[in-house]
Structure 1
Amino acid sequence: MTSVAQVLKSKPDAATVYTIAASDSVFDAVKLMAEKQIGALVVIENEAIVGIITERDYARKVVLLDRASKVTAVRDIMSRAVRFVRLDETTEDCMALMTERRMRHLPVIDQDRLVGMVSIGDLVKNIIAEQQFTIQQLEHYITGERP
């Protein structure tokens, strides 16, 4: 089973976790997500994680409610109950949590410090790679070829 630590190592920008202040505008958050081609930001206040803001939060709590993103603070629409995972948890643990809670992003914590973010896309990519490896091994076994 693959661990969260292994998934993070496979990401080209694993060491970079994008954050935003709770007092920043939603416009700034969406702009940063667009620039970095990501779907969520961890919200930080006084170096503590206080929430997470996602594209879904923006769509449902700004666009649909006809709010102005430039004057709405991140704290007004962020999700406060932040679910997270640790480095030693498995991809299966992450998938189960994401499915149960209907989430697409999980911050990764190590010794109470934010060290990464895994998305549903990261997990799917990892599962596909594992399946391809298994298929190759089975093909080699069936044909008698050595890898």
Structure 2
Amino acid sequence: MRKVSDILARKGGTVVAIDAATLVLNALKLMAEKNIGSVVVTEHGEYAGILTERDYARKVILEGRSSDHTTAGEIMSTSIPRVLPENSIETCMHIMTEGKLRYLPVFSYNKLEGIVSMSDVVTETILSHVATIEQLQNYIQS
């Protein structure tokens, strides 16, 4: 059974992080530059939440706020469930589906180890199916 640790081993645990005082406009520029849909937000060097494109659309655009006067800390998501490296991919799928989430922070011993996206979960599921198919083909041919 594939685990969150498999995703982190494949993609690495590097996260893009910004301080909560960062203006949303600058956070969006960073996300565009890195071609990512979220960034980790920190306060005093510690994980505080995640800022996503969805946060921007719903908490800035729809509320008529200005992205060059609003900080990441004002609109970040803070109640996102955390997962552990030993959690299964199925657990992530369940949490993401139930919560309508696209990103989950991965923690081990209260330390942020990485971020798992819906795309990561789908990719890992596909890789698992491909490996199963190859094993079955090898079994049939032997």
In the superposition, the TM-score normalised over structure 2's length comes to 0.93
Q: Distance in 1 between matches of 2:34 and 2:113?
A: 17
What is the CA distance between 1:52 and its match in structure 2? 1.2
Q: Distance in 2 between matches of 1:76 and 1:63?
A: 14
The list of structure 1 runs, each at least 4 consecutive aligned residues, that deviate by more than 4 angstroms after superposition, is none
Tell me the percent identity: 44
- The equivalent of 1:119 in structure 2 is 117
Q: Distance in 1 between matches of 2:46 and 2:103?
A: 18
Q: Aligned runs of 1:61-72 on 2, under 5 Å?
A: 61-72=59-70
Q: Aligned runs of 1:95-106 on 2, under 5 Å?
A: 95-106=93-104
Is residue 39 of structure 2 the alignment partner of residue 41 of structure 1? yes
Of 55, 58, 62, the residue aligned with 1:57 is 55
Instruction: For residue 134 of structure 2, give the secondary structure of its aligned residue in structure 1.
Output: helix
Is residue 17 of structure 2 the alignment partner of residue 6 of structure 1? no
Is residue 91 of structure 2 the alignment partner of residue 93 of structure 1? yes
Q: Deviations over 1:10-34 (max 9, x none)?
A: 11xx131111111111111111111
Cα RMSD of the aligned pairs, angstroms, is: 1.3
What is the CA distance between 1:98 and its match in structure 2? 0.6
Q: Distance in 1 between matches of 2:127 and 2:80?
A: 28
Residue identity in the other structure for 1:116: G
- The equivalent of 1:76 in structure 2 is 74
Deviation larger for 74-83 or 94-103: 74-83
Residue identity in the other structure for 2:10: S
What is the CA distance between 1:135 and its match in structure 2? 1.4
Q: Aligned runs of 1:17-28 on 2, under 5 Å?
A: 17-28=15-26
Residue identity in the other structure for 2:3: S
What is the CA distance between 1:118 and its match in structure 2? 0.7
Instruction: For residue 76 of structure 1, give the secondary structure of its aligned residue in structure 2.
Output: helix
In the superposition, the TM-score normalised over structure 1's length comes to 0.90
What is the CA distance between 1:139 and its match in structure 2? 2.3
Runs of 5+ consecutive residues of structure 1 not aligned to the other structure:
none
